[in-house]
Structure 1
């Protein structure tokens, strides 16, 4: 068996310095924990940034070693989840919103506001300080870092923490039980989520019964779509929307708050959009829709397992939808479009595609592997390779002709395009 080739610590350190210098040439100042100067890094340097993350994480992993209290195994098994304990408490008690943005607050005053014990609050926050969430400018006082300030400035980031703590985390503890109880099942209600939340409904239907949690989850999805190289602009620009004829309608199936359709409508004045989702999933999007777009973006209630009600549209767009379902149900979703499709209609599936091992930076591969697990944990679903996506269209109907995979620069999202050719 071939031995895994590992760089030396000195080789990695030299590479770190080289990559760091390359990044610092294009940012206004070196990043600090108070000021994230990498937030607006030019997109063409994203690959360098990812390589630097890979190098630094490999360096740290090697220095930790495999054994001992600081070793890789013990870090994962005994300590890593405690970061989450502190983070989830910070969300639950809305601590970022109680800390002044431009000054500090004492632990005593903060404990009074949260109505919890000062010793427990201090313990949680000092754990958070170890991963740069808040800092102590003077003993006994706490103030914002860039990370904690983000949770105040960006409601979708705050929603993301809440959704992970309330929906994801309990389900992770039920993975093994679900695998043993429902081996090989394609049913969405046979996910670890179902056991954790004591429901016989798929996650999205279960959340329909809890509007506040559904709103929070929708906010979290907005954050995921917007983040870094996954921004709406990059996703939108990956496809030649301008090639669609003026007056064309695009149906955004399962479009939630409509954030992608709103961006596209602002960029392409000749296109109209119909955003479809279950009741309440689009409430925030409806409220926030700019007046100038109300004639070209409309929201309707629709279950995508039922026949598509918008006939003759130029394109039907699924963003972060197909990966939410096992293949049996993904095929049903695609088949539900068929009665509405005109010849030449485009079906566009925007999802992350799993790359071949070793073809992308490890930090990106870890992300897609983690997301593949999350799809199983929440929905008994999966991420797909390009070959698997092509197979889904064939399984839905041979009249779907897969024509292209549109790559989104600097990320794992792809737009998979099939054309209806009856």
Structure 2
């Protein structure tokens, strides 16, 4: 295998081919490579220009992978795959593209679009904004209204709509059965053993039994409760939570660098990490801030069952069994941390978590939230928008929950108790999470 080319060489190849395309298409409708509403859906090029475009796209792809690095490319790709499936299947099912005006400058408010599609306004806005992050649709007015671009208008065309339907309604189910097909029928070669057939048979069985028409017996039972009965899944989840403190964008250092605890006068003596799993965040906090005498993890018994404090933190790091829905907090601390907790829950459940915390709070107690503060969509940060909106779709799909912007955080806190108020929101450069400082009864 040839050694990798320097990334500066890749950039030169990209520039050379971009100039070839611009020069070759000068004076034509395709020259500006626009994806605005009304733009040509497919550029017509000579063989030489098609070769330049192909090399350009291949080189852009290579450059992106190498500059992002293994995790910087892999994690967003894994997250985007189910996000795009969910977004496009919902766009197809509710025919959202057809409800947006197909005219130059035509726009529709998220409220009216939601009414036409028969789905809640908040979910409509979040879904369409996720699509916008991946270049489908454009916002006319931030958080208020949406309009078509060339990509989204194509989804309103019958043939493209049918292609989308075939891929998201049939092929997506097939790929979900691919591993099962390979496990059950290795090397079979029989068409009836294909993943698509397994998926079709399952769908027929579901329709025949009517199981998909039954109401969920207990809608308050969460994904986490279903997971709790499987030790292997619990262990995997705990591992994931620990790993997120180490990957770029989610490193615990973004939180640690953003709190003012290096100043002894502002450093709490005791902290409690609610839902802190194996204590990875608190371990780093304790090593950074020696003035913190004790950190306590409050989490479900099955999550902390086999966890022990490292030798260097014995006596400073402890674990207590706690269910933030079923129990009031009795453990006293100077500050409470919630990292990646509230985005797992809808507002009404977040309110319950916080109300169960209130009995332990004193006037002026600080609550530190490490979670996403969703910014408005930006033309200059599509890749970050893609990650943030993918996370929001993941929360919607997995938990009926959400990522929140400042207005969403303020509304959620006020709905729990009017005595909660936001002191500051710090969004570290390079980090995915913000640090939200909340004070109680100030």
Q: What TM-score does the superposition give when structure 2 sets the normalisation length?
A: 0.56
Asked if the contact 1:232/1:260 (under 8 Å) is kept, the reply is: yes
Q: Quote the residue 1:268 is aligned against.
A: 289
Q: Over residues 71-126 of structure 1, what are the superposed CA-to-partner deviations in whole Å (9 max), with x where a residue is unaligned? A: 7776555556666555x669xxxxxxxxxxxxxxxxxxxx9xx8x654169x9xxx
Q: CA RMSD in A?
A: 4.7
Question: What is the CA–CA distance in structure 2 between the aligned matches of 1:417 and 1:372, rounded to whole Å?
Answer: 21
Residues 74 and 238 of structure 1: CA distance in aligned 2, closer, same or farther (over 3 Å): farther
- The answer to whether residue 298 in structure 2 is matched with residue 230 in structure 1 is no
Question: What is the CA–CA distance in structure 2 between the aligned matches of 1:12 and 1:343, rounded to whole Å?
Answer: 63
Secondary structure at the aligned position of 2:37 is classed as: coil
Asked if the contact 1:189/1:380 (under 8 Å) is kept, the reply is: no
- The answer to whether residue 297 in structure 2 is matched with residue 256 in structure 1 is no
Question: What is the CA–CA distance in structure 2 between the aligned matches of 1:332 and 1:20, rounded to whole Å?
Answer: 46
Secondary structure at the aligned position of 2:364 is classed as: coil
Q: Over residues 182-208 of structure 1, what are the superposed CA-to-partner deviations in whole Å (9 max), with x where a residue is unaligned? A: 8xxxxx953xxxxxxxxx622223333
Residues 362 and 336 of structure 1: CA distance in aligned 2, closer, same or farther (over 3 Å): same
What does 1:22-421 align with in structure 2 at a 5 Å threshold? 31=66, 38-39=69-70, 76=168, 79=171, 85=177, 118-119=186-187, 189-190=218-219, 201-243=221-263, 245=266, 248-271=269-292, 272-283=294-305, 286-287=307-308, 289-305=309-325, 306-311=327-332, 313-358=333-378, 361-421=381-441
Q: Over residues 121-155 of structure 1, what are the superposed CA-to-partner deviations in whole Å (9 max), with x where a residue is unaligned? A: 9x9xxx9xxxxxxxxxxxxxxxxxxxxxxxxxxxx
Asked if the contact 1:257/1:283 (under 8 Å) is kept, the reply is: no
Question: What is the CA–CA distance in structure 2 between the aligned matches of 1:329 and 1:40, rounded to whole Å?
Answer: 33
Residues 367 and 78 of structure 1: CA distance in aligned 2, closer, same or farther (over 3 Å): farther
Residues 8 and 362 of structure 1: CA distance in aligned 2, closer, same or farther (over 3 Å): farther
Asked if the contact 2:234/2:303 (under 8 Å) is kept, the reply is: yes
Q: Over residues 277-302 of structure 1, what are the superposed CA-to-partner deviations in whole Å (9 max), with x where a residue is unaligned? A: 01111245x24x32101221111111
Asked if the contact 2:272/2:336 (under 8 Å) is kept, the reply is: yes
- The answer to whether residue 47 in structure 2 is matched with residue 3 in structure 1 is no
Larger radius of gyration: 2
Residues 404 and 283 of structure 1: CA distance in aligned 2, closer, same or farther (over 3 Å): same
Residues 40 and 279 of structure 1: CA distance in aligned 2, closer, same or farther (over 3 Å): closer
Structure 2: state its 5+ residue gaps: 1-35, 44-48, 81-133, 136-149, 196-209
Asked if the contact 1:402/1:417 (under 8 Å) is kept, the reply is: yes
Structure 1: state its 5+ residue gaps: 25-29, 51-56, 91-110, 128-173, 183-187, 191-199
Q: What TM-score does the superposition give when structure 1 sets the normalisation length?
A: 0.58
Q: Quote the residue 1:53 is aligned against.
A: none
Question: What is the CA–CA distance in structure 1 between the aligned matches of 2:168 and 2:367, rounded to whole Å?
Answer: 41
Question: What is the CA–CA distance in structure 2 between the aligned matches of 1:402 and 1:40, rounded to whole Å?
Answer: 33
Secondary structure at the aligned position of 1:410 is classed as: coil
Question: What is the CA–CA distance in structure 1 between the aligned matches of 2:40 and 2:185, rounded to whole Å?
Answer: 48
Q: Tell me the number of residue pairs that the alignment of Structure 1 and Structure 2 aligns.
A: 307
